[in-house]
Amino acid sequence: MTPTLHAYRHARVIVQNVHTSAAHAALAMRTNDVGCVLVSDGRQVVGIVTDRDLALRVVAEGRSALETEVGAVMSSPLAVLDVDAPHDEAIRIMREWNIRRVPLTRGTRIVGVVTLDDLVLERSATLEDVASVVRGQIVEGGPARTRRYDEWTALGRRHARALGTKAKLLARIRSGAALASNREAETAAIIVLEALVHGLDDPLARELVARLPVAFRGRLAEGMAASRGAVGSRAECERRIARDLALDRATAAAVVRSVGAALSDIVRASDPVGRRLPPALRAILHDASPRDAPRARASRVEPAPPKPTRRSVGRHDGGRARASAVR
């Protein structure tokens, strides 16, 4: 049997008159431990005011809470749902209207309110459902565009790109070494990167860290000063990876090669950073970047000169051969 919204019926629904002040509406929310009040004009419910509305449309705009009427800041028209409707229908209304609360009706009478939090606690709303409702409120139903809003939006995009770049790098490592998870790939990458960073002097180490995906920089920058001068080797990387990931030595060596190959777009044995690495560490990049190895020059074979023919001899020596033959 499909569950309905009967569980969210309330014996008393908080309703305020359209001329009630925002301050009294906030007091009613606190007294009744709710996040919204319905707004009526006479005997008809015409809107809803939430705690978010009071924060953004009263406080943020510098209005007086005692002088501002709820009718001026309410959300209207009102999206309602029959109390016999299933949970999925409530989620659909929330996604379409970019809201988190839906009043429930029985005929023409308001009998309750269902919220997104209620559906999450009942496990009727998935994480994707919650994300879509929240995203819709932020982008479409949220406050007007401001400089701070644009800054947060840009920060979110940069964070998403950083995670995407890190995920691509870890995917290359996993595919090359047949590791079971991104966590194992990240552990291997950090071990190799720490060895490379510690094998360089400070300016070049910082340059290498700056080339890495943002998601790796913080952890490596923290350990730069602590382990300065602790130069590792490829064999040491293999030992650490074998120990931390519980692998045999041959598999750990394959993981090191995979990490080096994944780093080939970031640092190569032939660039200024790679050339300053100790030979024991540069070998990781040499093995992983065969395109950096010097290519053997193809020997050029000069074509053999054509053998002179009787006709060509006569044509090129001005007829001397023919004249001598006559004599």
Enumerate the β-bridge partners of residue 77.
none
65 burial level (CB within 10 Å; 0-12, 13-18, 19+): middle
The mean pLDDT of 9-20, rounded to a whole number, is 84
Burial 135-157 (b: 16+ CB within 10 A, else e): ebbeeeeeeeeeeeeeeeeeeee
Residue 316 pLDDT class (50, 70, 90 cuts): very low
Q: Are 143 and 56 within 8 A, CB to CB?
A: yes
For the stretch 124-151, pLDDT in tens is 777 777 777 777 666 554 444 555 556 6
Q: Concatenated DSSP letters for 17-63? A: ETT-BHHHHHHHHHHHT-SEEEEEETTEEEEEEEHHHHIIIIITTT-
At residue 303, the 3 state secondary structure works out as coil
- Structure confidence at residue 107 (pLDDT): 84
The mean pLDDT of 93-115, rounded to a whole number, is 87
For the stretch 194-231, pLDDT in tens is 888 888 888 888 888 888 887 787 777 665 555 544 55
Question: Are domains 6-139 and 157-292 of this chain identical in fold?
Answer: no
* pTM recorded for the entire structure: 0.43
Enumerate the β-bridge partners of residue 75.
48
Task: Round to the nearest angstrom and report the end-to-end CA distance of the chain.
Answer: 123
Amino acid at the residue 178: A
The runs of H, that is alpha helices, within the chain are 22-32, 51-54, 87-97, 116-121, 127-139, 147-177, 182-198, 202-211, 214-224, 234-245, 249-262, 272-275, 279-288, 310-316, 320-326
- Structure confidence at residue 42 (pLDDT): 84
Q: Are 260 and 288 within 8 A, CB to CB?
A: yes
Residue listed under structure tokens 């406050």: 143
Residue listed under structure tokens 């070049």: 204
Residue 26 has pLDDT above 90, yes or no: yes
How far is 58 from 79, CA to CA, in rounded Å? 22
Whole-number average pLDDT of the chain: 77
For the stretch 288-303, pLDDT in tens is 443 433 333 333 444 5
Domain covering 6-139 in this structure, CATH number: 3.10.580.10
Q: Considering only the top CATH level, what class is 157-292?
A: mainly alpha
Of 126, 142, 149, 131, the closest CA to residue 50 belongs to 142
The mean pLDDT of 154-178, rounded to a whole number, is 81
Given the DSSP bridges, would you call strands 101-106 and 109-115 parallel, antiparallel or unpaired?
antiparallel
233 burial level (CB within 10 Å; 0-12, 13-18, 19+): middle
- Structure confidence at residue 152 (pLDDT): 59
Max Cα separation, the chain?
A: 137
- Structure confidence at residue 29 (pLDDT): 92
Given the DSSP bridges, would you call strands 44-50 and 81-82 parallel, antiparallel or unpaired?
unpaired
- CB-based contacts of 221: which residues, under 8 Å, 6+ apart? 209
All structural domains of the chain with their residue ranges: 6-139, 157-292
Residue listed under structure tokens 């010097």: 294
